[in-house]
Amino acid sequence: MKTAIIFGASGQDGAFLSKLLLEKKYRVVGASRNIRTASPNLQRLNIGGDMEPVPSCMLDLNSLVRLLQDIRPDEVYNLAGQSSVGLSFKKPIETHESISVATMNLLEAIRRTEIPVKLFNAGSGECFGNTGGEAATESTPFAPQSPYAVAKASACFQTANYREVYKLFACTGILYNHESFLRPEQFVTRKIVSTACRIAGGSGEKLVLGNISIERDWGWAPEYVNAMWRMLQQEQPEDYIVATGSTCRLEQFVAAVFDRLGLNWKEHVKTDKRFLRPTDVKIVRANPVKAQKILNWKARYTGVDVARLMVEAELETNP
Ligand code: GDP
């Protein structure tokens, strides 16, 4: 039986990854600042009781060392940290600490304990910034444009550096936006889906958005945790882009959500400067061919499928 520690186990990805690893018969230890098996995400996936919760603070190196010595995991997944680009403009230091400093501590704890673990680090396609419409590959230089992207770039460089210098088995999945019904409304996909469903139910409200001409590579989160696991089953640690390879305008996503509910989005949506960001990557494009070739991983669902799947999940929970 393999043992995995998941940092950030109660978030969207942590919950889906816990489920995947439990299905693969792993012992799963879920570490987070205030982990509870009663976490809504874990309960929603019906796995709260099967995962072992441990409280952990990634800013405390000694406690990480003790945790690793105590659990002696085969695999460690670093999914913790502030996860919203928008919020990072308001909380740059917390974003930096919870992503960059936390990752550094985890790498250092692994180095000090000398336990032969395999580490997955959750990176972000935001690190590439504007690529001028070109699809980014693993060799495209980083040009981060938000406190979030700067912190993720730093964590990715640290991970690569520990791999080269200390020979750790450590890799970063450069993840593009991946969504599901476990996303909070802070993220635009869930905001659109929840509001549109309320409108369809007769709430009479408007959906107010920021820039709807941005383009993103939106995928389906349950598929992305599978790519994370596959990265740690390879002989060599390497970084991989994890994306659908297909880009969708926010406007198209909105239209797909309202279409699924039999509504015309133009009658229900308005925009407001209040939701604009100081900087925002306009067009995101990714080339996930390396993951396809080496990990044999390919996303099944792209942006408009994600819109439909999220509406269906929302209707199931709030019919
Ligand atoms: P993140 O940027 O990866 O953290 O994901 P979000 O879902 O928060 O934002 C995705 C994109 O949607 C960004 O380019 C936002 O500027 C854009 N967007 C447009 N309107 C909104 C809005 O009302 N809320 C949010 N969160 N994002 C919006």
C-beta neighbour count of 131 within 10 angstroms: 18
CATH of the domain at 150: 3.40.50.720
The SS3 of residue 172 is strand
Residue 319 has pLDDT above 80, yes or no: no
DSSP 229: H
| Closest-lying ligand 1 atom to the alpha carbon of residue 183 | 7
Please write the tens of the pLDDT for every residue from 169-223: 999 999 999 999 999 999 999 999 999 999 999 999 999 999 999 999 999 999 9
Tell me which residue of 2, 54, 9 sits closest to 23, measured CA to CA.
Answer: 2
Mean pLDDT of 233-245: 98
Mean pLDDT of 243-256: 98
Distance 187 CA to ligand 1 centre (A): 6
Do residues 197 and 119 share a domain? no
Amino acid 103 reads: T
| Residue in 124, 146, 154, 180 annotated catalytic | 124
| Residue in 75, 126, 179, 314 annotated catalytic | 126
Mean pLDDT of 45-60: 90
> What is the torsion angle, in degrees rounded to the nearest 10, for the CA atoms of residue 302, residue 307, residue 308 and residue 310?
110
Residue 45 has pLDDT above 80, yes or no: yes
Tell me which residue of 119, 118, 186 sits closest to 148, measured CA to CA.
Answer: 186
Tell me which residue of 231, 191, 227, 213 sits closest to 284, measured CA to CA.
Answer: 213
| Closest-lying ligand 1 atom to the alpha carbon of residue 271 | 20
Distance 316 CA to ligand 1 centre (A): 25
Do residues 46 and 187 share a domain? no
Q: Is the CB of 188 under 6 A from ligand 1?
A: yes
| Residue in 26, 77, 148, 176 annotated catalytic | 148
For strands 75-78 and 118-124, give the pairing.
parallel
Quick check: is 126 catalytic?
yes
Element (H, E) at 123: strand 118-124
Residue 292 lies in a domain: no
What pLDDT, on the 0 to 100 scale, is given for residue 38? Answer: 64
C-beta neighbour count of 236 within 10 angstroms: 8
Quick check: is 139 catalytic?
no
First-to-last alpha carbon distance for the chain, in angstroms, is 40
Query: Sorting pLDDT into bands at 50, 70 and 90, what band is 89?
Result: very high
Do residues 111 and 201 share a domain? no
Cα–Cα dist 240/159, whole Å: 13
Cα–Cα dist 17/204, whole Å: 37
Residue 255 lies in a domain: yes
In this prediction the pTM is 0.96
Do residues 172 and 268 share a domain? no
Ligand 1 pocket: which of 91, 150, 188 to mutate (most atoms within 8 A of CB): 188
Do residues 130 and 188 share a domain? no
Do residues 174 and 257 share a domain? no
Residue 48 has pLDDT above 90, yes or no: no
Query: Mean of the per-residue pLDDT values for the chain?
Result: 96
Query: Sorting pLDDT into bands at 50, 70 and 90, what band is 35?
Result: low
Distance 239 CA to ligand 1 centre (A): 26
Do residues 118 and 233 share a domain? yes
Residues above pLDDT 70, as percent of the chain: 99
Residue 78 has pLDDT above 80, yes or no: yes
Contact 243, 310 (CB under 8 A): no
Tell me which residue of 252, 147, 258 sits closest to 194, measured CA to CA.
Answer: 258
C-beta neighbour count of 154 within 10 angstroms: 19
Amino acid 231 reads: M
Residue 294 lies in a domain: no
Structural domains counted in the chain = 2
Do residues 162 and 257 share a domain? no
Please write the tens of the pLDDT for every residue from 118-138: 999 999 999 999 999 999 999
What pLDDT, on the 0 to 100 scale, is given for residue 234? Answer: 98
- Domain holding 110, by residue range, is 3-178+221-242
Quick check: is 148 catalytic?
yes
